[in-house]
Structure 1
Amino acid sequence: MTIKPNTVVSLTYELHTTNAEGQQVFVEKADEQNALVFMYGTGMMLPKFEEHLAGLNAGDEYSFELTAEDGYGPIDPGAFADLPKEMFKEVDLPAVGDIIPLQDNEGNHFRAGVTGVHEDSISVDLNHPMAGKNLIFSGKILTVREATQDELAHGHAHGADGHSGH
Protein backbone atom coordinates (compact mmCIF):
# COMPACT_ATOMS: atom_id res chain seq x y z
CA MET A 1 0.00 0.00 0.00
CA THR A 2 1.18 3.50 -0.83
CA ILE A 3 1.44 6.34 1.69
CA LYS A 4 -1.41 8.76 1.02
CA PRO A 5 -3.90 10.74 3.16
CA ASN A 6 -5.74 8.70 5.80
CA THR A 7 -3.22 5.87 5.85
CA VAL A 8 -1.42 4.86 9.03
CA VAL A 9 2.33 4.75 8.60
CA SER A 10 4.82 2.92 10.80
CA LEU A 11 8.47 3.80 10.19
CA THR A 12 11.96 3.89 11.61
CA TYR A 13 14.09 7.01 11.47
CA GLU A 14 17.33 8.54 12.53
CA LEU A 15 17.40 12.31 12.95
CA HIS A 16 20.59 14.32 12.67
CA THR A 17 21.36 18.04 12.53
CA THR A 18 24.63 19.74 11.70
CA ASN A 19 26.90 21.63 14.06
CA ALA A 20 28.73 24.91 13.37
CA GLU A 21 31.55 22.96 11.68
CA GLY A 22 29.09 21.29 9.30
CA GLN A 23 29.40 17.86 10.91
CA GLN A 24 26.29 15.73 11.43
CA VAL A 25 25.13 15.42 15.04
CA PHE A 26 22.83 12.57 16.12
CA VAL A 27 19.58 13.76 17.76
CA GLU A 28 17.27 10.75 18.14
CA LYS A 29 15.95 7.62 16.49
CA ALA A 30 12.96 5.32 16.33
CA ASP A 31 13.78 1.67 15.68
CA GLU A 32 11.56 -1.27 14.70
CA GLN A 33 10.69 -2.01 18.36
CA ASN A 34 9.73 1.64 19.00
CA ALA A 35 8.61 2.76 15.55
CA LEU A 36 7.01 6.11 14.83
CA VAL A 37 3.33 5.50 14.01
CA PHE A 38 1.09 8.28 12.70
CA MET A 39 -1.88 8.96 10.47
CA TYR A 40 -0.64 10.58 7.29
CA GLY A 41 -2.21 13.86 6.21
CA THR A 42 -3.82 14.94 9.49
CA GLY A 43 -1.32 17.66 10.45
CA MET A 44 0.39 15.64 13.18
CA MET A 45 3.77 15.74 11.43
CA LEU A 46 5.79 18.50 9.82
CA PRO A 47 4.20 19.12 6.37
CA LYS A 48 7.50 18.83 4.47
CA PHE A 49 8.33 15.60 6.37
CA GLU A 50 5.08 14.09 5.07
CA GLU A 51 5.68 15.50 1.60
CA HIS A 52 8.93 13.52 1.36
CA LEU A 53 7.13 10.30 2.36
CA ALA A 54 4.22 10.64 -0.10
CA GLY A 55 3.99 7.69 -2.46
CA LEU A 56 6.40 5.44 -0.56
CA ASN A 57 5.49 1.83 0.28
CA ALA A 58 6.29 -0.64 3.07
CA GLY A 59 9.92 -1.69 2.72
CA ASP A 60 11.05 1.56 1.05
CA GLU A 61 14.01 3.37 2.54
CA TYR A 62 14.21 7.16 2.58
CA SER A 63 16.71 9.91 3.27
CA PHE A 64 16.10 13.65 3.03
CA GLU A 65 16.94 16.97 4.64
CA LEU A 66 14.50 19.66 5.74
CA THR A 67 15.71 23.23 5.95
CA ALA A 68 15.11 25.07 9.21
CA GLU A 69 12.30 26.98 7.48
CA ASP A 70 10.61 23.70 6.52
CA GLY A 71 11.20 22.22 9.98
CA TYR A 72 10.66 24.28 13.12
CA GLY A 73 11.49 27.63 11.58
CA PRO A 74 14.34 30.05 12.16
CA ILE A 75 15.33 31.13 15.64
CA ASP A 76 13.04 33.97 16.70
CA PRO A 77 15.15 36.62 18.47
CA GLY A 78 11.97 37.84 20.18
CA ALA A 79 11.37 34.45 21.82
CA PHE A 80 13.69 35.03 24.77
CA ALA A 81 12.42 36.18 28.16
CA ASP A 82 13.52 36.86 31.69
CA LEU A 83 11.27 35.27 34.30
CA PRO A 84 11.21 36.40 37.93
CA LYS A 85 12.91 33.94 40.29
CA GLU A 86 9.78 34.04 42.49
CA MET A 87 8.10 31.79 39.88
CA PHE A 88 10.41 29.00 41.02
CA LYS A 89 10.10 29.23 44.81
CA GLU A 90 8.09 25.98 45.03
CA VAL A 91 10.60 23.98 42.95
CA ASP A 92 14.35 23.72 42.69
CA LEU A 93 15.90 26.58 40.76
CA PRO A 94 16.72 25.50 37.22
CA ALA A 95 20.27 25.60 35.88
CA VAL A 96 21.59 26.72 32.51
CA GLY A 97 20.81 24.01 29.97
CA ASP A 98 17.71 22.72 31.78
CA ILE A 99 14.42 22.41 29.91
CA ILE A 100 11.56 23.63 32.09
CA PRO A 101 7.77 23.28 31.74
CA LEU A 102 5.82 26.54 31.55
CA GLN A 103 2.19 27.55 31.11
CA ASP A 104 0.80 30.71 29.52
CA ASN A 105 -2.19 32.77 30.68
CA GLU A 106 -4.58 30.61 28.59
CA GLY A 107 -3.36 27.36 30.19
CA ASN A 108 -1.28 26.20 27.21
CA HIS A 109 1.73 24.11 28.22
CA PHE A 110 5.13 24.48 26.57
CA ARG A 111 8.81 24.08 27.37
CA ALA A 112 11.65 26.57 27.52
CA GLY A 113 15.41 26.19 27.65
CA VAL A 114 17.23 27.95 30.49
CA THR A 115 19.95 30.23 29.10
CA GLY A 116 20.90 32.13 32.24
CA VAL A 117 20.42 32.26 36.01
CA HIS A 118 20.70 35.74 37.50
CA GLU A 119 20.20 37.32 40.90
CA ASP A 120 16.53 38.14 40.37
CA SER A 121 15.58 36.31 37.18
CA ILE A 122 15.89 33.21 35.02
CA SER A 123 16.57 33.78 31.29
CA VAL A 124 14.79 31.37 28.96
CA ASP A 125 14.68 30.58 25.25
CA LEU A 126 11.11 29.92 24.11
CA ASN A 127 12.10 28.73 20.62
CA HIS A 128 11.55 25.07 19.75
CA PRO A 129 14.80 23.16 20.50
CA MET A 130 15.13 22.34 16.78
CA ALA A 131 14.43 25.91 15.58
CA GLY A 132 17.14 27.22 13.30
CA LYS A 133 18.42 23.74 12.48
CA ASN A 134 18.22 21.68 9.33
CA LEU A 135 16.75 18.23 10.03
CA ILE A 136 18.35 15.24 8.31
CA PHE A 137 16.13 12.14 8.29
CA SER A 138 16.84 8.60 7.14
CA GLY A 139 14.89 5.42 7.76
CA LYS A 140 12.59 2.74 6.45
CA ILE A 141 8.84 2.45 5.97
CA LEU A 142 7.72 -0.60 7.98
CA THR A 143 3.98 -0.73 7.30
CA VAL A 144 1.27 1.28 5.55
CA ARG A 145 -2.42 0.53 6.06
CA GLU A 146 -5.79 2.23 5.70
CA ALA A 147 -6.89 4.06 8.83
CA THR A 148 -9.80 2.46 10.71
CA GLN A 149 -13.10 4.29 11.13
CA ASP A 150 -12.26 4.93 14.81
CA GLU A 151 -8.91 6.43 13.85
CA LEU A 152 -10.54 8.63 11.23
CA ALA A 153 -13.13 9.78 13.77
CA HIS A 154 -10.46 10.53 16.39
CA GLY A 155 -8.03 12.08 13.91
CA HIS A 156 -5.00 10.02 14.95
CA ALA A 157 -3.51 6.54 14.67
CA HIS A 158 -4.27 3.87 17.27
CA GLY A 159 -0.92 2.13 16.91
CA ALA A 160 0.58 0.07 14.12
CA ASP A 161 -2.25 -2.47 14.38
CA GLY A 162 -5.09 0.04 14.80
CA HIS A 163 -6.06 -1.21 18.26
CA SER A 164 -3.58 0.48 20.60
CA GLY A 165 -3.95 3.76 22.42
CA HIS A 166 -7.59 3.67 23.59
Structure 2
Amino acid sequence: MKIDKNHVVSLHYTLNAIEENGEKTFIEKTDAENPFTFLYGVGMMLPKFEEHLQGMVAGDKKSFTIVPEEGYGDKDENAKTELPIAMFEESGIPPVGAILPLQDPEGNHLNAIVLEVTPEAVIADLNHPMAGKTLHFDLEVESTRPATEEELDHGHAHGVDGHEEH
Protein backbone atom coordinates (compact mmCIF):
# COMPACT_ATOMS: atom_id res chain seq x y z
CA MET A 1 0.00 0.00 0.00
CA LYS A 2 1.38 3.39 -1.00
CA ILE A 3 1.72 6.24 1.50
CA ASP A 4 -1.07 8.72 0.94
CA LYS A 5 -3.00 11.38 2.87
CA ASN A 6 -4.64 10.14 6.09
CA HIS A 7 -2.38 7.09 6.33
CA VAL A 8 -0.55 6.00 9.43
CA VAL A 9 3.10 5.62 8.53
CA SER A 10 5.73 3.79 10.57
CA LEU A 11 9.35 4.15 9.62
CA HIS A 12 12.90 3.97 10.87
CA TYR A 13 15.27 6.85 10.31
CA THR A 14 18.64 8.31 11.10
CA LEU A 15 18.79 12.10 11.21
CA ASN A 16 22.01 14.05 10.79
CA ALA A 17 22.68 17.76 10.41
CA ILE A 18 24.96 18.71 7.54
CA GLU A 19 27.45 21.31 8.64
CA GLU A 20 28.73 24.11 6.38
CA ASN A 21 31.92 22.12 5.74
CA GLY A 22 29.83 19.16 4.52
CA GLU A 23 30.40 16.97 7.57
CA LYS A 24 27.43 15.21 9.16
CA THR A 25 26.59 15.60 12.86
CA PHE A 26 24.38 12.86 14.34
CA ILE A 27 21.09 14.11 15.82
CA GLU A 28 18.89 11.07 16.44
CA LYS A 29 17.90 7.59 15.29
CA THR A 30 14.92 5.31 15.82
CA ASP A 31 15.43 1.69 16.81
CA ALA A 32 13.82 -1.55 15.63
CA GLU A 33 11.54 -1.80 18.68
CA ASN A 34 10.28 1.78 18.43
CA PRO A 35 9.59 2.95 14.90
CA PHE A 36 8.53 6.54 14.33
CA THR A 37 4.77 6.41 13.71
CA PHE A 38 2.67 9.38 12.61
CA LEU A 39 -0.45 10.45 10.75
CA TYR A 40 0.58 11.46 7.25
CA GLY A 41 -0.87 14.43 5.39
CA VAL A 42 -2.50 16.31 8.28
CA GLY A 43 0.20 18.88 8.98
CA MET A 44 2.07 17.04 11.73
CA MET A 45 5.35 16.85 9.82
CA LEU A 46 7.39 19.25 7.74
CA PRO A 47 5.73 19.51 4.31
CA LYS A 48 9.03 18.75 2.55
CA PHE A 49 9.51 15.62 4.70
CA GLU A 50 6.07 14.35 3.69
CA GLU A 51 6.69 15.26 0.06
CA HIS A 52 9.65 12.86 0.03
CA LEU A 53 7.50 10.04 1.46
CA GLN A 54 4.56 10.38 -0.96
CA GLY A 55 3.94 7.11 -2.79
CA MET A 56 6.52 5.03 -0.89
CA VAL A 57 5.59 1.52 0.27
CA ALA A 58 6.74 -0.76 3.10
CA GLY A 59 10.35 -1.75 2.56
CA ASP A 60 11.24 1.33 0.49
CA LYS A 61 14.41 3.15 1.52
CA LYS A 62 15.32 6.74 0.78
CA SER A 63 17.87 9.39 1.67
CA PHE A 64 17.12 13.09 1.33
CA THR A 65 18.13 16.50 2.60
CA ILE A 66 15.95 19.35 3.81
CA VAL A 67 17.51 22.83 3.80
CA PRO A 68 16.55 25.33 6.53
CA GLU A 69 14.14 27.23 4.25
CA GLU A 70 12.18 23.98 3.71
CA GLY A 71 12.52 22.89 7.33
CA TYR A 72 12.51 24.98 10.48
CA GLY A 73 13.73 28.19 8.90
CA ASP A 74 16.85 30.21 9.53
CA LYS A 75 17.93 30.88 13.09
CA ASP A 76 16.70 34.28 14.31
CA GLU A 77 19.39 35.76 16.55
CA ASN A 78 16.77 38.11 18.05
CA ALA A 79 14.45 35.28 19.14
CA LYS A 80 15.49 35.40 22.78
CA THR A 81 13.61 36.17 25.94
CA GLU A 82 14.47 36.97 29.54
CA LEU A 83 12.34 35.11 32.04
CA PRO A 84 12.30 36.53 35.59
CA ILE A 85 14.21 34.35 38.04
CA ALA A 86 11.12 34.38 40.31
CA MET A 87 9.37 32.11 37.75
CA PHE A 88 11.66 29.30 38.88
CA GLU A 89 11.24 29.54 42.66
CA GLU A 90 9.18 26.34 42.89
CA SER A 91 10.71 24.28 40.07
CA GLY A 92 14.32 25.32 40.58
CA ILE A 93 16.64 27.29 38.35
CA PRO A 94 17.32 25.39 35.12
CA PRO A 95 20.90 24.81 33.97
CA VAL A 96 22.32 26.24 30.75
CA GLY A 97 21.28 23.97 27.89
CA ALA A 98 18.03 22.86 29.53
CA ILE A 99 14.89 22.80 27.41
CA LEU A 100 12.01 24.80 28.86
CA PRO A 101 8.44 24.05 27.76
CA LEU A 102 6.74 27.41 27.24
CA GLN A 103 3.45 28.72 25.90
CA ASP A 104 3.03 31.91 23.89
CA PRO A 105 0.11 34.36 24.38
CA GLU A 106 -1.89 32.54 21.66
CA GLY A 107 -1.58 29.20 23.50
CA ASN A 108 1.01 27.67 21.15
CA HIS A 109 3.53 25.38 22.83
CA LEU A 110 7.23 25.85 22.18
CA ASN A 111 10.50 24.76 23.67
CA ALA A 112 13.14 27.29 24.62
CA ILE A 113 16.78 26.47 25.31
CA VAL A 114 18.44 28.09 28.32
CA LEU A 115 21.41 30.17 27.14
CA GLU A 116 22.37 31.94 30.35
CA VAL A 117 21.30 32.29 33.97
CA THR A 118 21.86 35.58 35.81
CA PRO A 119 20.79 36.58 39.34
CA GLU A 120 17.78 38.38 37.78
CA ALA A 121 16.75 36.25 34.78
CA VAL A 122 16.95 33.08 32.75
CA ILE A 123 17.82 33.99 29.15
CA ALA A 124 16.36 31.54 26.65
CA ASP A 125 16.55 30.99 22.89
CA LEU A 126 13.06 30.71 21.35
CA ASN A 127 14.22 29.29 18.02
CA HIS A 128 13.24 25.73 17.19
CA PRO A 129 16.25 23.51 18.07
CA MET A 130 16.54 22.56 14.37
CA ALA A 131 16.32 26.16 13.07
CA GLY A 132 19.16 26.98 10.71
CA LYS A 133 20.11 23.33 10.27
CA THR A 134 20.30 21.39 7.01
CA LEU A 135 18.73 18.04 7.87
CA HIS A 136 19.68 14.76 6.22
CA PHE A 137 17.42 11.73 6.60
CA ASP A 138 18.17 8.09 5.82
CA LEU A 139 14.94 6.17 6.25
CA GLU A 140 13.09 2.94 5.59
CA VAL A 141 9.30 2.62 5.58
CA GLU A 142 8.17 -0.17 7.88
CA SER A 143 4.44 0.01 7.20
CA THR A 144 1.58 2.16 6.02
CA ARG A 145 -2.15 1.75 6.48
CA PRO A 146 -5.27 3.92 6.27
CA ALA A 147 -5.93 5.75 9.53
CA THR A 148 -8.94 4.74 11.59
CA GLU A 149 -11.82 7.18 12.04
CA GLU A 150 -10.79 7.58 15.67
CA GLU A 151 -7.22 8.50 14.66
CA LEU A 152 -8.54 11.04 12.16
CA ASP A 153 -10.87 12.50 14.81
CA HIS A 154 -8.00 12.73 17.32
CA GLY A 155 -5.56 14.08 14.73
CA HIS A 156 -2.79 11.60 15.50
CA ALA A 157 -1.80 7.94 15.05
CA HIS A 158 -2.61 5.36 17.70
CA GLY A 159 0.47 3.25 17.08
CA VAL A 160 1.56 0.88 14.35
CA ASP A 161 -1.61 -1.22 14.64
CA GLY A 162 -4.02 1.58 15.62
CA HIS A 163 -4.71 0.25 19.11
CA GLU A 164 -2.22 2.16 21.26
CA GLU A 165 -3.91 3.86 24.19
CA HIS A 166 -3.35 7.49 25.17
Q: Specify whether residues 41 and 107 from structure 1 end up closer, same or farther in structure 2 by C-alpha distance, changes over 3 A only.
A: closer
Q: 1:1-150 residue pairs with structure 2 within 5 A? A: 1-19=1-19, 21-150=21-150
- Cα offset, 1:47, TM superposition: 0.7
* Two-structure CA RMSD over aligned residues (Å): 1.7
CA distance in 2: counterparts of 1:155 and 1:84, whole angstroms? 35
Separation in 1, partners of 2:43, 2:106: 23
CA distance in 2, matches of 1:133, 1:56: 25
Distance in 2, Cα, partners of 1:109 & 1:5: 25
Shift of 1:69: 1.3
Secondary structure, counterpart of 1:22 in structure 2: coil
The answer to whether the 8 A contact 1:10-1:144 is kept is: yes
Matched residues in 2 for 1:148 and 1:88: separation? 42
Q: TM-score, normalised by structure 1?
A: 0.91
CA distance in structure 2 between the partners assigned to 1:88 and 1:53 by the alignment: 42
- Which segments of 5 or more consecutive residues in structure 2 lack a partner in the other structure? none
Return the alpha-carbon distance in structure 2 between the equivalents of residues 23 and 69 of structure 1: 20
- Whichever residue aligns with residue 8 of structure 1, its letter is V
Cα deviation per residue 1:39-84 (whole Å; 9 max; x = unaligned)?
A: 2111111111000000111100011000011111111223111222
Partner secondary structure for residue 116 of structure 1 = strand
Q: Percent identity?
A: 52
User: Deviation of residue 28 (structure 1)?
Assistant: 0.8
> Given that residues 49 and 66 in structure 1 are in contact (C-alpha distance below 8 angstroms), is that contact kept between their aligned partners in structure 2?
yes
Give the secondary-structure state (helix, strand or coil) at the position aligned to 2:73: coil
Q: State the secondary structure of the residue aligned to 1:137.
A: strand
Residue identity in the other structure for 2:111: R
Aligned to 2:159: 159
In the superposition, the TM-score normalised over structure 2's length comes to 0.91
Deviates most, 47-56 or 29-38: 29-38
**Partner-residue secondary structure (3-state), 1:45:** coil
CA distance, structure 1, for counterparts of residue 106 and residue 56 of structure 2: 40
Structure 1 position 107, deviation (Å):
4.8
Deviation at 1:18, TM superposition (A): 2.6
The SS at the match of 1:34 is coil
